C-alpha cells in the first residue's frame, strides 16, 4: 500500500494513477475522508486519556470524590468514542488496500491498455520451407501432449504432458534454476497453499481474489478460522517470507529463485486461447524475487538485471523475443513499472507473453511490514521486485513450434540437451510401422 502521508500530499497524483489503471479514483477521496475522521477521533481520545491520566495521578495521592467523578466521566466518554474509532479505522484499512501504486513517469499512460511500448527485440524468426504445425498438432503427433484426456480428467484447460514432453518440462525448470543459483540467487520451494494475508501482502488481493482458487475447508489456526488459497505465483509466499521482520541494510539485497506450481482461474479469458497450453489453470514456473533498499534508482537497476537474466535464458534457448514496457492499463495495481517479455510462437503467428518483470517499490513491504535498518540507523521499508525466469508449459509452446522439423520431429536446443537427456523428439513408431 501507499504511505497515507504520501496520499495526503499527492492526492491528485494518486487519483490520476487510479484513472490510468482503469480504477475508480473516488476511493482516494474516501480514504482521505476516513483518514481525517480517524485522526480527529484519535486526537479526541488522546486528549481525554491525557486528562484522565492527570486526574488519576492526583487520586493516587489523595482520594477526592469530585475527581473520581470527573475521571469516570472521561472514561465513559472514551468508551463512547472507541467503537466509532474502531469502525472508522477498519473502513480506513480496507480502503487503503484498494489504492493502487503510482507508475513511474516513463510508463505510458493509457487506461485502455493499448499503448505498450516496444523496448527491444532479439533473434531471427524461423523461416520454414514446409507448412509448420502448432504445438497442439506437434504434441499430439509426437505423443508428448494429451489434451483430450486432460479435459476428461481435469475439465476445461486440463492437459497431460507425456514422454519427452514431461522430461522437457522438468529439465527446463532445473536448467533455469541452475542459471539463477550461479548468479547468487537462493533456491527456494515455497508453500503454495497460503493464507489470505499472503495474498494481501503481495497486492494480489483485493483486486485478484476472483482469480485465485479458494480452498473450501477452513482450518483452525491461532484461534481463528483461516481460509486458504492456491497461489498463482510464488511471489505470493516469498513476499511474506520476511513479513514483520526488520532486516539489516548490510544483508540487502536478498535474491530468491522459487520453483512452484501455480494456479489461476483465468476468469474473463473464456474464448481466448481456449485450445492448447497457452492459457491453462495450472502450470509451473521459476520466479525471481529481489528485496533491496528503498531506493528507486537501485530498483530500476535491478529491474534491468532481472530482465537480463530472463533474456539470457531465451537467448541460450535460441528463442526470438521482444520486451515491452507496459502501459498503465496493462500493468497490475501494485506495479510501479513493468516489462512483459514475449516469445515468438509460430503457431500463433505472433509473440506470446512468457515472462513479466516488475518493480513494486515499497507497496508490498508496507502491507507485509518488511523493514530494514539503514546504515544511518533509520528504519525504512524495503523495495521488492519480481520477474518470471521461466514458465512451463507456455515456454514449451515456443520451443516445440520454433524447433520443429519437416519430418515432424523437434530439435532440442543445445543448452537443454544435458537436462532432458535427448537431442530431438522423433515421431513414434506404431505397431503398423514395425
65 shares its domain with 143: no
User: Where does a domain end: 63, 96, 129?
Assistant: 96
Q: What is the pLDDT of residues 75-127, one digit of tens each?
A: 999 999 999 999 999 999 999 999 999 999 999 999 999 999 999 999 999 99
Please indicate, yes or no, whether residues 161 and 285 belong to a single structural domain of this protein.
Answer: yes
Better pLDDT: 67 or 47: 47
pLDDT over 50 at 434, yes or no: no
Asked if 90 and 129 sit in the same domain, the reply is: no
Q: For residue 221, name the pLDDT band (cuts at 50, 70, 90).
A: low
Q: Using CA of residue 34, residue 35, residue 36, residue 38, what is the dihedral sign?
A: positive
Helix (H, G, I), strand (E, B) or coil at 190: coil
Say what the pLDDT of residue 67 is: 83
Rounded average pLDDT over 422-426: 97
Residues 417 and 277 in one domain: yes
Q: Give residue for cell 508490498.
A: 364
pTM (two decimals): 0.91
Beta-sheet pairing, 371-373 with 246-248: parallel
The set of cell numbers assigned to 309 is 537474466
CA distance 398 to 380: 42
Q: Is residue 106 part of a domain?
A: no
189 and 332 belong to one structural domain: yes
What is the DSSP code string of 59-88? HHHS--HHHHHHHHHHHHHHHHHHHHHHHH
- Coil, helix or strand at residue 101: coil
Segment 3-55, tens digit of pLDDT: 999 999 999 999 999 999 999 999 999 999 999 999 999 999 999 999 988 88
Q: Please say if the pLDDT value at position 414 is more than 80.
A: yes
Concatenated DSSP letters of 144-178: SEEHHHHHHHH-TT--EE-HHHHHHHHHHHHHHHH
Look at residue 271 and tell me whether its pLDDT is greater than 70. Answer: no
> What is the pLDDT, as a whole number, of residue 272?
63
Determine the Cα–Cα distance for residues 214 and 74; give it in Å rounded to an integer.
46
Handedness of CA 424, 425, 431, 433 (dihedral sign): negative
> What per-residue confidence (pLDDT) applies to 217?
67
Q: Residues 283-302: pLDDT tens digits?
A: 999 999 999 999 999 999 99
Tell me the residue range of the domain where 49 lies.
4-96
CB atoms within 10 A of CB 165: 25
Could you tell me the CATH number of the domain that includes residue 157? 3.30.930.10
Whether residue 122 sits in one domain with residue 154: yes
Residue 429: pLDDT over 80: no
Indicate whether 135 pLDDT > 60: yes
Reference 358, options 381, 376, 331; nearest CA is: 331
Mean predicted confidence (pLDDT) in 253-272: 85
Q: Are residues 85 and 34 in the same domain?
A: yes
Picking from 40, 131, 30, 162, the residue whose alpha carbon sits closest to that of residue 404 is 131
Mark whether 88 and 147 lie in a shared domain.
Answer: no
| In contact, 334 and 100? CB cutoff 8 Å | yes
Q: For residues 367-374, give the mean pLDDT.
A: 98
**C-alpha grid cell for residue 164?**
519427452
- Which is higher by pLDDT, 185 or 63? 185
Cα–Cα distances (Å) from 223 to 240, 429, 434, in that order, read: 21, 60, 66
- Give the separation between CA 44 and CA 370, rounded to whole angstroms: 31
Q: From CA 89, how far away is CA 148, in angstroms rounded?
A: 52
**Is 111 a domain residue?**
no
Amino acid at each position: 500500500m501507499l504511505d497515507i502521508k504520501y496520499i495526503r500530499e499527492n492526492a491528485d497524483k494518486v487519483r490520476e494513477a487510479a484513472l490510468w489503471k482503469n480504477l475508480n479514483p473516488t476511493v482516494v477521496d474516501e480514504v482521505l475522508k476516513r483518514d481525517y475522521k480517524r485522526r480527529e477521533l484519535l486526537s479526541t481520545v488522546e486528549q481525554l486519556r491525557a486528562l484522565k491520566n492527570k486526574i488519576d495521578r492526583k487520586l493516587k495521592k489523595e482520594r477526592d470524590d469530585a475527581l473520581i467523578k470527573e475521571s469516570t466521566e472521561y472514561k465513559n466518554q472514551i468508551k463512547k468514542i472507541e467503537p466509532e474509532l474502531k469502525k472508522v479505522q477498519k473502513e480506513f484499512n480496507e480502503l487503503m488496500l484498494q489504492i493502487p501504486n503510482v507508475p513511474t513517469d516513463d510508463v505510458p499512460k493509457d487506461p485502455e491498455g493499448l499503448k505498450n511500448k516496444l523496448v527491444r527485440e532479439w533473434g531471427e524468426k524461423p523461416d520454414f520451407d514446409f507448412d509448420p504445425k502448432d504445438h497442439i498438432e506437434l504434441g499430439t503427433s509426437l505423443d508428448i501432449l494429451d489434451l483430450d484426456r486432460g479435459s476428461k480428467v481435469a475439465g476445461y484447460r486440463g492437459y497431460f504432458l507425456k514422454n519427452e514432453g514431461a522430461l522437457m518440462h522438468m529439465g527446463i525448470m532445473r536448467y533455469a534454476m541452475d542459471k539463477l543459483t550461479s548468479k547468487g540467487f537462493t533456491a527456494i520451494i515455497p508453500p503454495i497453499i497460503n493464507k489470505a494475508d499472503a495474498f494481501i501482502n503481495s497486492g494480489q488481493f483485493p483486486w485478484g481474489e476472483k482469480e485465485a482458487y479458494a480452498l473450501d475447508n477452513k482450518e483452525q489456526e491461532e484461534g481463528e478460522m483461516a481460509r486458504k488459497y492456491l497461489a498463482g505465483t510464488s511471489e505470493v509466499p516469498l513476499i511474506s517470507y520476511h513479513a514483520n521482520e526488520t532486516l539489516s541494510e548490510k544483508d540487502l539485497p536478498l535474491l530468491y529463485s522459487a520453483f512452484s506450481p501455480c494456479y489461476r482461474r483465468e476468469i474473463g479469458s473464456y474464448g481466448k486461447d481456449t485450445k492448447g497450453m497457452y492459457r491453462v489453470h495450472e502450470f509451473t514456473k521459476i520466479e525471481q524475487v529481489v528485496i533491496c533498499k528503498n531506493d528507486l534508482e537501485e530498483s530500476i537497476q535491478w529491474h534491468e538485471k532481472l530482465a537480463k537474466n530472463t533474456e539470457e535464458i531465451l537467448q541460450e534457448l535460441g528463442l526470438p523475443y521482444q520486451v515491452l514496457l507496459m502501459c498503465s492499463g496493462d500493468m497490475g495495481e501494485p506495479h510501479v513499472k513493468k516489462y512483459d517479455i514475449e516469445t515468438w510462437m509460430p503457431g500463433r503467428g505472433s509473440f506470446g507473453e512468457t515472462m513479466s518483470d516488475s518493480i513494486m517499490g515499497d507497496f508490498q513491504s508496507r502491507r507485509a511490514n518488511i523493514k530494514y535498518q539503514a546504515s544511518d540507523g533509520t528504519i525504512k521499508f524495503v523495495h521488492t521486485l519480481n520477474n518470471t525466469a521461466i514458465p512451463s508449459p507456455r515456454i514449451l509452446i515456443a520451443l516445440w513450434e520454433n524447433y520443429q522439423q519437416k519430418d515432424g520431429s523437434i530439435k532440442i536446443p543445445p543448452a537443454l540437451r544435458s537436462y532432458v537427456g535427448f537431442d530431438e523428439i522423433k515421431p513414434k513408431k506404431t505397431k503398423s510401422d514395425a
